[in-house]
Amino acid sequence: MDNSPSPVSQPVSQRRPALRITNTAAARGEIYQVSDLIVVLGDQLSVQGTALETAHREHDRVLMMEVEDESRIIPHHKHKIVLFLSAMRHFAAGLRADGWSVDYVKLDDPGNQGSFASEIARAVARHKPDRLVITHPGEYRVRHALKTAFPDLVEVADTRFIAPLETFQQWAEGRKSLRLEYFYRLLRRQTGLLMSDDRPEGGQWNYDADNRAPADPDQNFAPPKRFAPDAITRSVMDLVEARFGDHMGSAANFSWPVTRAEAQAALDDFITHRLPHFGATQDAMLTDEPFLNHSLISSSLNLGLLDPLEVCHRAKQAYLDGSAPLNAVEGFIRQVLGWREYVRGLYWHTMPAYQDRNALGANRPLPAFYWTGETELACLRAAISQTIAHGYAHHIQRLMITGTFALLIGADAKDVHEWYLAVYVDALEWVELPNTLGMSQFADGGMMASKPYAASGQYIKRMSNYCNGCRYKVSKRTGPDACPFNALYWDFVARHEDVLQANPRMGPVYRTWHRMDDAKQTALRASAADFLGGLA
């Protein structure tokens, strides 16, 4: 199977010829302009950095398709389906206004056969293009299916990322561990972002130590800019409620940016109002404050409405202007330049084997309350309820609440992956899978994370106010009213001793476990077993 990266590092000018001479035309001594059918997928909504950049609107044609299979393969949150379809329809309208010829297949068009392959085949029959062209699809499954169905498909690099895939490939070559930190430093050097004379701005690569404060519940948080649906979005909302009524959430409160102009307004709003405080509260969680000082730009970045380098430069400028402190700006740039580029590189470096990793042998069904939020654990109720309401939870909620709980109970790694892929508006497999399987579930055996993100209720108490409104007592370790995270944590530690004991970062944890007397260990494991026995 061809898993090699496409020529993403090729300069745009070398990607494809502007004109080609076909054999028959050449034989006749004519110059013939090739007519391409350019397939634009739902997360390829930009001209810059995609196949559209070197295409010719006079004689090429764009194909965009809304296909049922992609909305059903996983039961995506209604906001996510509305976001994709509305952003696609707006993008197509913008292309048409710019003089492009766009063949747009709507979800409810008669004759729509519901899959990319069938719709591309129908479009090829309609238009008889000289070439079928696509930007490197972001998802392994889609890329593989299209390359198999259309062996002559011309693939153009997706240069909407800061690092070409080869940069990651070369960096990863021969390395035993693929930690973010060193890839991030490489990209800081290559881009010059927050660098002065090859040294990190302020003398440190990382200001995480300043970015672990809990949030003050009495503080006022600037609400993020939201966008009222226009006529296009409203018609998509109706369509989604009618066709995907049983999926998570309600289309009624949809307010995500669906155009580049809206995404830029959302970015402006973040840079002005929340970036200055981003660092300090980056890891904090508060009941009824789903967004805190986060940017909410992941869906716009992932669809192509914002460019990641542009975003990093905007943040850097805020630091240079003195409107945001270094710990906030470095913390933010680390996410976009570091984590986002790193997980994309890791995904293409390790797929398709990566998706089947399950290093801890986790096989428990994901509890039903992940789909409803109906649980007595206040932290999970908060994170899941806001996920249902908005298709959004911030990083620490994903990692340390829903992620840690799934890890501790041994939830099936694939179920967990599919849940994250379904419920977040920004969830595309290339970014979701490494975050879920690798960082959150330790299913890759430590390729991404140096130790599992397992924690007891004490971490949640420190970083949130969830425990104040919980029926469980975070201070108690065993018994029916003890915080379940506490016993589950020690049960996880004991259960995986054979795999994790040799991990140097787990040494202190195992020393504490072994210092406990038998009665204490037995009580903790019995308490965990009682809780697990009651999980549906």
Q: Which does 483 bind (CB under 5 to 8 A by kind): ligand SF4, ligand FAD, none?
A: ligand SF4
Question: Token digits for 500?
Answer: 């994790």
DSSP state of 367: P
**Of 59 and 395, CB closest to ligand FAD:** 395
Contacts with ligand FAD in 406-425 (CB under 6 A)? 420, 424
Contacts with ligand SF4 in 83-112 (CB under 6 A)? none
Q: Which does 467 bind (CB under 5 to 8 A by kind): ligand FAD, ligand SF4, none?
A: ligand SF4
Q: Is the peptide bond before 7 cis (omega within 30 degrees of 0)?
A: no
DSSP state of 466: G
Cα–Cα dist 255/299, whole Å? 12
Question: Which of 71, 302, 350, 375 is in the footprint of ligand FAD by CB under 6 A?
Answer: 302
Q: Which does 284 bind (CB under 5 to 8 A by kind): ligand SF4, ligand FAD, none?
A: none
Q: Which does 457 bind (CB under 5 to 8 A by kind): ligand FAD, ligand SF4, none?
A: ligand SF4
CB of 81 to ligand FAD, least distance (A): 15
Cα–Cα dist 271/503, whole Å? 40
Contacts with ligand SF4 in 428-457 (CB under 6 A)? 457
Stretch that binds ligand SF4, among 15-23, 180-188, 197-205, 458-466 (CB under 6 A): 458-466
SS3 assignment, position 155: strand
Cα–Cα dist 181/315, whole Å? 20
Size of the site for ligand SF4 (CB under 6 A): 14
φ and ψ of 394, to 5 deg: -85, 175
Question: Token digits for 498?
Answer: 């054979």
Stretch that binds ligand FAD, among 170-178, 234-242, 297-305, 457-465 (CB under 6 A): 297-305
SS3 assignment, position 150: coil
**Of 112 and 458, CB closest to ligand SF4:** 458
φ and ψ of 347, to 5 deg: -60, -50
Q: Which does 474 bind (CB under 5 to 8 A by kind): ligand FAD, ligand SF4, none?
A: ligand SF4
By CB under 6 A, tell whether 378 contacts ligand SF4.
yes
Cα–Cα dist 465/461, whole Å? 6
Cα–Cα dist 202/331, whole Å? 13
By CB under 6 A, tell whether 137 contacts ligand SF4.
no
Q: 523 vs 31, 283, 409, CA distance in Å?
A: 82, 32, 17
Total residues found in the chain within this entry = 536
Cβ-proximal residues to 8 (8 Å cutoff; 6+ apart), any chain = 136, 157, 158, 159, 161, 164, 165, 166
Question: Which of 379, 393, 399, 427 is in the footprint of ligand SF4 by CB under 6 A?
Answer: 379
By CB under 6 A, tell whether 427 contacts ligand FAD.
yes
Question: Which of 306, 460, 488, 500 is in the footprint of ligand SF4 by CB under 6 A?
Answer: 460
Q: Are 437 and 443 within 8 A, CB to CB? A: yes
Q: 61: which strand partners?
A: 37, 101
Beta pairing, strands 199-200 & 101-105: unpaired
Question: Which of 348, 419, 466, 492 is in the footprint of ligand SF4 by CB under 6 A?
Answer: 466
**Of 370 and 485, CB closest to ligand SF4:** 485
CB of 456 to ligand SF4, least distance (A): 8
DSSP state of 227: -
Q: Which does 470 bind (CB under 5 to 8 A by kind): ligand SF4, ligand FAD, none?
A: ligand SF4
Q: How far apart are the first and last CA of the chain?
A: 39
By CB under 6 A, tell whether 377 contacts ligand SF4.
yes
Interface ranges with ligand SF4 (CB under 6 A): 377-379, 457, 460-461, 466-467, 470, 472, 474, 483-485
Positions that interact with ligand FAD (CB under 6 A): 294-298, 301-302, 332, 335-336, 339-340, 343, 394-395, 398-399, 403, 420, 424, 426-427, 431-432, 435-436, 439-440
